[in-house]
Structure 1
Amino acid sequence: MKSRKIINQNTYQNLLLFTLAFSGRFGTHSLRYFFSAVSGISDFPEFTIVGQVDDQQFMYFDSKIMKVVPKTEWMRQSEGADYWDRETQTSIGAHQVYKVNIQTLKARFNQTTGVHTVQVMYGCEFDDQTGETNGFRQDGYDGEDFLFLDLKEMRWITPVMQGIPTIQKWNNYGYEIEAKKHYFSTVCIEWLKKYLEYGKSSLKKTVSPQVSVLKKSSSSPVKCHATGFYPKDVTISWMKNDQEHHEDVEVGQPLPNEDGTFQKTSTLTVTPEELKKNEFICVVEHQGKTFREILKDDSPLIAIIVGVVLALILLAVIGVVVFKVYQKKKGFKPVNASDDGSNSSARTDPQA
């Protein structure tokens, strides 16, 4: 898996990449929680949590509303008040811990002003064809990796000196690491399967993309825009005179549309002279189907309008985490289980 840097909170569009930081493989399902503690932004909640099953957000919490709420109809209909009360109390506890943690890290980094974030991503996945499961947990601070949990070695690891006090402290909590291992190998997988059953009619849907080739002016880069597709995994490539073309091509990440589908763009930088002399074709592959769109001289001179929900922008700005993903072999890493192992999210952490 490609490495990617944690995205700072100063660019709304970049923050929307949270939905695609971890692309699912065919047959693989995932349960992920993203949360962030923020210091120095008065207009947004200081703590936010988002839960996703596969590509769909199913729950949300922030420190202004102070409760966990469902974000899909299938979740709203499947769990009762006890579930939402329990998740709310767990989230409130996490909020209090991370209010302290962000102040601790600001002191370690010798920071007194400015915007700062503690960001966490954790969850689990399983392959319904092979039965293989995996747990993952990564933490970041101010746009950089801070620490992660290596489940194979059963220890916390940090790439920065400011993280050493935390891993020295947390690595002494052997019982908590064991609890995390149990959560990710058992509890998290059980809840993931339960959520998949709740939302099977929605999560298993397939919607094909609409493909357009667009340009702002005759001399501007050309954009191949695929939109309205689900699930989010899609491949966009270019052909020049029936040959694969990879030069001067930049492929974006999938972005969410307000109806739950996704969009993705590939940009081709090419001169007007090249366009006249050659035929360029955008090729989009999705769920075993191939869609082609030929770039013509009369291709629409319009800009792409990104159909992203404002609510998702808000979530991304303060609460949703996109991490610099470690190489695939490092994997993703986990979070604490509750004492009784019954929590679906199990979000409580020790202080840093």
Structure 2
Amino acid sequence: MMQHVVLLLLGAHLASAGKHSLRYFYTGVSALNDFPEFTAVGLVDEGPFTYFDSNTKRTVPKTEWMRQNVGADYWDRETQTFTGAHQSFKVSIQNVMKRFNQTTGVHSWQLMYGCELDDDGTKRGYFQYGYDGEDFVSLDKSTLSWTAASPEAVFTKHKWEADRAFAEYWKGYLENTCIEWVQKYVGYGKSTLERKDAPEVFLLQKDSSSPVLCQATGFYPSNIMMTWQKKGEEHHEDVEVGTTLPNVDGTFQKTVTLSVKPEEWKNNRDDYRCVVQHVGAAKNIVVTVDDIRSNPGSDNKIAIIVGCLVGFVVLAVVVGLIFWRKSNGYGRASTKDSDSENSDQALDKVNAKYRIA
């Protein structure tokens, strides 16, 4: 279950050629002994470049270009920021649990914020919180208001709207400071972040009655178009498009699966082909069924790819890369303020960037 949520996150907000992004994911959890109580990870163009957790209590670089371009004062400031966020997250998760009438169990309070800069100068920014894998409250920069995604979030909406300076701070950060840091980070890691690595593409099938996987790996940036074609036309029926996942070397991989009835495959298999488009490839990459690799479990190269993926998923869970994107609403619960929430005012003042829910 946890791995499934992580995979959803990793496939979100794909970077494209000419677009650069900076985003942060914070995750606070309750009653989960196997993981840190709080984690924060920063990503540039979907790749982790900085990491903090409440166990180690320090911020560390995740790329060589960050290690080489910033000094100890940068990491000290980041550690102070994340330490402050950790304290507000501890209180917020307890407050939100009360609003859902929850007293025990594993729960998560999450923040995702960041910005994107296109090569034509277009800018975008976002700041939103989630609870237990669902949207909770988000900032509307145009109106400096907060959007509640459920009845339980209404109290937080009103509480934060009473402090206009909070929304003004984040609007300024997302539209200016964040963009400046995107440009700065891309400058630091230009040779890495602006490279164009073409994918290697191959077909996998366990046996003649199994689905056929078209897998692309080793490509950068992450934006890629993969389709199945039948008789030269795009084929969408019985096709499952996987999420784009990072490899441990900073490149990406993606799989598009074709599942057809054995009889259809037996009679018409030569009509199918996988077509891949990527900025790193001079032309479309076309793979036909003649290139199918049978019994992928015995292929050493595939085993390495799977091993790398599993390793990253484990790392991602620890880091707290969890994102919420579900359509179901929350059940109703009391949104009445409590004495403990009133006592949060002092902590709110200390944490100018992160308010208590």
TM-score range, shorter chain: 0.7 to 0.9
Paired residues for 1:195-234 under 5 Å: 195-234=185-224
**2:284 counterpart SS class:** strand
Distance of 2:87 and 2:97 partners within structure 1: 16
Distance of 2:352 and 2:72 partners within structure 1: 19
**Which residue is equivalent to 1:334?**
none
**Which residue is equivalent to 2:330?**
none
**What is the TM-score when the length of structure 2 is the normalising length?**
0.86
Change (3 A) 1:31 1:318: closer
Change (3 A) 1:141 1:170: same
Unaligned runs of at least 5 residues, structure 1 = 1-9, 327-345
Distance of 1:226 and 1:297 partners within structure 2: 13
Distance of 1:298 and 1:282 partners within structure 2: 11
**Which residue is equivalent to 1:338?**
none
Distance of 2:207 and 2:352 partners within structure 1: 49
Distance of 1:242 and 1:202 partners within structure 2: 36
Out of 14-23 and 82-91, give the one that drifted further. Answer: 14-23
What percentage of residue pairs aligned between the two structures are identical? 50
Larger Rg: 2
CA drift of 1:313 comes to: 2.2
CA drift of 1:241 comes to: 2.2
**Which residue is equivalent to 2:77?**
86
**Which residue is equivalent to 1:173?**
163
Change (3 A) 1:59 1:235: same
**2:75 counterpart SS class:** helix
Conserved 8 A contact 1:29-1:125: yes
CA-to-aligned-CA distance 1:111-148 (integer Å, 9 cap, x gap): 122211011110111112x2121211111101111010
Paired residues for 1:99-114 under 5 Å: 99-114=90-105
**Which residue is equivalent to 1:291?**
285
CA drift of 1:24 comes to: 2.6
**Which residue is equivalent to 1:323?**
324
Out of 31-40 and 316-325, give the one that drifted further. Answer: 316-325
CA RMSD across the alignment: 2.0
CA-to-aligned-CA distance 1:226-252 (integer Å, 9 cap, x gap): 111111111111111222211100000
CA-to-aligned-CA distance 1:243-280 (integer Å, 9 cap, x gap): 22111000001111111111100111112322232221
- Which one scores higher on RCO, CA 8 angstroms, separation ≥ 6? 1
Q: Pick from 52, 57, 63: which aligns with 1:72?
A: 63
Conserved 8 A contact 1:281-1:294: yes
- Please identify which structure carries the higher helix content: 2
Aligned residue pairs: how many? 323
CA drift of 1:78 comes to: 0.5
Conserved 8 A contact 2:41-2:319: no
Paired residues for 1:100-249 under 5 Å: 100-128=91-119, 130-249=120-239
State the 4+ residue runs in structure 1 displaced beyond 3 angstroms.
296-299
Conserved 8 A contact 2:16-2:221: no
